[in-house]
Amino acid sequence: MQPINIIKEIGKTKVVSIVDELNSGQFKRVLLRGDIPTRIPMSVVSLKARTQIWKDRLIEAVTSSNYGVAETLLYEWLLNRRRQLLIDYLDKLNIKHKKGETDETFLKTIPEETLRSKAKELMKDHSDQEVAIYVHFLDYHQQSRVFETDDFFVNALKEEKSE
């Protein structure tokens, strides 16, 4: 599933929540990847006001289907704000990694049922929707369709389940 489609599936509320977790450096990287200007008028001096301008630009970019912004937003958020989720999944699969990062294309070497069952196990400790975001992004990144073709994981993207 393309990152822009993941963004559309999770809805604006979750996108805003993800954006709210970014720091200024992450905002800039996401905006630059989508060819969105990061410059702020000199009259804006407070970090809060700057952040709101960046946030508005970012939300506008993903709602208007900016693929670069969608991909980088998910990448930055997963790597910098949900690293433990990445670590936990790779550990469950016994994949060698450095703090949740790996170059292995394990979605093509591990049986699909194992990948799905370990992702479901991950949902015991992490939000169902956030696990779904991660595994769909993995599908995209590793050019696979393990989770995109599974209704359980497609539906898990759509709404956050209450604990």
Distance, in Å, from the CA atom of 75 to the CA atom of 44, rounded to the nearest integer, reads 28
Give the pLDDT of residue 159: 62
pLDDT attached to residue 98: 97
**pLDDT above 80 (res 79):** yes
Reported as a single tens digit per residue, the pLDDT across 51-69 is: 899 899 999 999 889 999 9
Q: Pick left, alpha or beta for residue 126 (phi over 0 → left; psi -120 to 50 → alpha; otherwise beta).
A: beta
Does residue 45 have a pLDDT over 90? no
Residue 69's alpha-carbon distances to 4, 55, 90, in angstroms, are: 8, 12, 26
101 strand-pairing partners: 98
The mean pLDDT of the chain is 93
91-146: per-residue pLDDT in tens? Answer: 999 999 999 999 999 999 999 999 999 999 999 999 999 999 999 999 999 999 99
CA distances from 138 to 18, 102, 163 (A): 18, 11, 25
Q: Break the chain into its structural domains and give their ranges.
A: 11-72, 82-158
Q: Please identify which residue in the block is written with the tokens 């949900």.
A: 82
